[in-house]
Amino acid sequence: PGHGRDDAWTEGATLALIDAWGERYLHLNRGNLKQKHWREVADEVTKRSCLDESSSGRSGKSDVQCKNRLDTLKKKYKIEKARLASEGSPSKWPFFVKLDELIGPSKKGKKRSTPPPSNNGIAPAAAAAAALTATPNNGNATAANEGRASSSKRRKVEGSFKDLARAIIKFGEVYERIESAKQQQLMDLERQRMEFTKDLELQRMQLFMQTQVELAKMKHGK
């Protein structure tokens, strides 16, 4: 395509440029336009500018002119955005609102699919309907993903509770074995104590009997 000279842009031609570029920009999920897209933009701007009486007699726009003009608009938008942030007054620049909707800070991170532009820059009804019906499907997909994530979290929580329950049961079994061993040990000690006491009492009785016998012998001898 011819580069041509960068002649003056009317407000109508600039608006046509923003519209033509914006449609393709959104269709590409806010991505950069390729050379073929810029040629389409230039053709569309030229066609729409020819319908504007104030543009009669002017030469058509080339893809390079359109790209340069848009770069200039983006730089002007950043300056205007910074001015508004510092002053807080509304913008009087006629292209600010359209550009803010397309490249504003809150729009840059968003991705959306839009129907491809038709020859006259208006999306076909069927494509527009398909774009509208895509939103519920995306919503359903998101809901399904969230459902799977919730289900996964629920399974993890349930698994944690099961592990905790098994740990408590195992601890109870160990504690029961320890207590049983302690009881058995106490019973063994009690049995040993009783046997020792019994043996001690038996020895005491034997010693008492022997003492009595010895005393009896001593009396009889006298």
**How many Å apart are CA 197 and CA 203, to the nearest integer?**
10
Q: Using an 8 Å Cβ cutoff, are 110 and 30 in contact?
A: yes
Give residue 109's pLDDT band: very low, low, confident or very high (50, 70, 90).
Answer: low
Give residue 123's pLDDT band: very low, low, confident or very high (50, 70, 90).
Answer: very low
**How many Å apart are CA 116 and CA 26, to the nearest integer?**
9
Q: Give residue limits of the domains in the chain.
A: 11-103
Task: Report pLDDT for 130.
Answer: 45
Task: Report pLDDT for 134.
Answer: 46
Long-range contacts of 173-177 (CB under 8 A, 24+ apart): none
Predicted model pTM? 0.45
Task: Report pLDDT for 105.
Answer: 74
How high does pLDDT run on average in the chain? 80
Give residue 127's pLDDT band: very low, low, confident or very high (50, 70, 90).
Answer: very low
Q: What is the pLDDT of residues 191-200, one digit of tens each?
A: 898 888 888 8
Q: Using an 8 Å Cβ cutoff, are 31 and 108 in contact?
A: no
Give residue 177's pLDDT band: very low, low, confident or very high (50, 70, 90).
Answer: confident
- Mean pLDDT of the 140-144 span: 60
Task: Report pLDDT for 3.
Answer: 44
Q: What is the pLDDT of residues 48-97, one digit of tens each?
A: 877 665 544 556 899 999 999 999 999 999 999 999 999 888 889 999 99
Task: Report pLDDT for 131.
Answer: 45
Query: What type of residue is 138?
Result: N
Task: Report pLDDT for 97.
Answer: 93
Q: Which residue has the tokens 């959306």?
A: 112
Give residue 144's pLDDT band: very low, low, confident or very high (50, 70, 90).
Answer: low
Mean pLDDT lowest for which of 3-12, 88-97, 98-107? Answer: 3-12
Task: Report pLDDT for 142.
Answer: 62
Q: Which residue has the tokens 């509304």?
A: 90
User: Among candidates 110, 84, 113, 112, which has minimal Cα distance to 97?
Assistant: 84
